[in-house]
Amino acid sequence: MSRVAIVGGGFAGLAAAMILRREAPRLSVTLLDRNPAACYLPLLPDCIGRAIPPELLLYAYADASRRYGFDFWQRQVTRIDCPAGMVYAGDAAVPFDYLVCAAGMQPNFYGNRAAAEHAYCLATIDDARRLAAALAERTPVQVVVAGGGYTGVEVATAVWRLCRKRSPAVRVLMVERAAEILAALPPAASAYVRAHLRRLNIDVACGVSVAAADSRSVRLSDGRVYADALLVWTAGVQAAPCVDSLPGQKNQQGRVIVDDYLRCAPRCFVAGDAAVQTVGGVPLRMSVQAALTQGSVAARNIIAAHRNQPLRACRPRDLGWVVPMADNNGWGIALGIPVRGPAAVFLHYLMCLYRGRGGVGRALALAGAIAKG
């Protein structure tokens, strides 16, 4: 019996596991993830801004394992040896004939040790719990959100919403190293969001970065010092450490540049945020839709390879995106059509309901988000 190892149980990893077990039940499938449950990351900021219980965003791998019939190992993968066909997780080793690496991303502090030690992130359920607890236990004068991208806007408005209820005097500042926030998006999106942040009294500082931080203060590169501040880091991501052990070329984030079939080596596939796939000469952006498509294509290419059939090139379709803000305002593009205001946020939650796993918790989380306005 041929063995498939899947590293990472996010959108891509779970999609691959489900398809492999459904369409090739004779293959042995083992999913490895350091966490006991998958987290629905697109709704994570709502744990702060709308007080959604984080537990509603979890989908236990044990439940998925029983439902779909794959094996689950809760282990931290440290290294992958593609030529030898081995995944190493601590003192354990898992052999494989085919691999799907969907290990995802983690915060990148770019060597800023002070930020790594003292900043709060919002990349996991535990991060959401820690940030919510910190804001509940302490009322800082200033919350500094480092990073003016998609996630930074979501987090800044979520923190603004929480602080507005508990302590209106708290100020929120978004810091972006580039010349403009949301630099990767169309200028109209950046201008709309910046104007809206101004109406919410969320300050934006571009062309500056966090120079130093400790548990109670933040110093910016332009010399400004906030003596009673809490730092939240959304300024960048990098691939999980185990991805570095994969063969092939990597980009600056450590993501693997794959071929049209999502391979980095024979019988080794990379999917989701860990993969850099180029479509029409342009690297595909990291998104839930891309991860789901890549996980599905990787699984079906493993089935094809196992049956000595031709592989299928991966051609994800980008249906659009939305930058949702916690006051029910947003800007995005759906099927090529610009959408803004509450309609954009509605589309965001609608897609969250459609794409998530673990239907009951997902529905409860969405209902809670809408009910809290």
- Per-residue model confidence as pLDDT tens digits over 144-194: 999 999 999 999 999 999 998 888 888 999 999 999 999 989 999 999 999
Residue 227 and residue 244 share a domain: no
Quick one: pLDDT at residue 342? 93
Residue 339 and residue 222 share a domain: yes
Whether residue 198 is contained in a domain is answered as yes
* Of the residues 280, 306, 332, the one at which a domain ends: 306
Whether residue 361 is contained in a domain is answered as yes
Residue 275 and residue 147 share a domain: no
Residue 86 and residue 147 share a domain: no
pLDDT averaged per 10 residues in sequence order, the chain, 373 residues: 96 97 97 95 91 88 96 97 96 96 96 94 94 88 95 96 86 96 92 94 96 94 95 96 97 97 97 94 90 97 97 90 93 93 91 68 56 55
Quick one: pLDDT at residue 367? 55
Task: Return the structure tokens found at 213.
Answer: 């931080």
Reported pTM? 0.93
Residue 85 and residue 130 share a domain: no
* Of the residues 306, 330, 353, the one at which a domain ends: 306
Domain count, the chain: 2
Instruction: Determine the residue type at 360.
Output: V
Residue 218 and residue 121 share a domain: yes
Whether residue 42 is contained in a domain is answered as no
Residue 211 and residue 100 share a domain: no
Quick one: pLDDT at residue 90? 85
Whether residue 345 is contained in a domain is answered as yes
The residue segments making up the domain with residue 141 are 109-235+320-371
Pick the closest to residue 139 from 175, 180, 167, 118 (CA basis): 167
Quick one: pLDDT at residue 360? 45
Residue 226 and residue 129 share a domain: yes
Residue 81 and residue 15 share a domain: yes
CATH number of the domain at 9, please: 3.50.50.60
Residue 136 and residue 23 share a domain: no
Residue 243 and residue 231 share a domain: no
Residue 294 and residue 177 share a domain: no
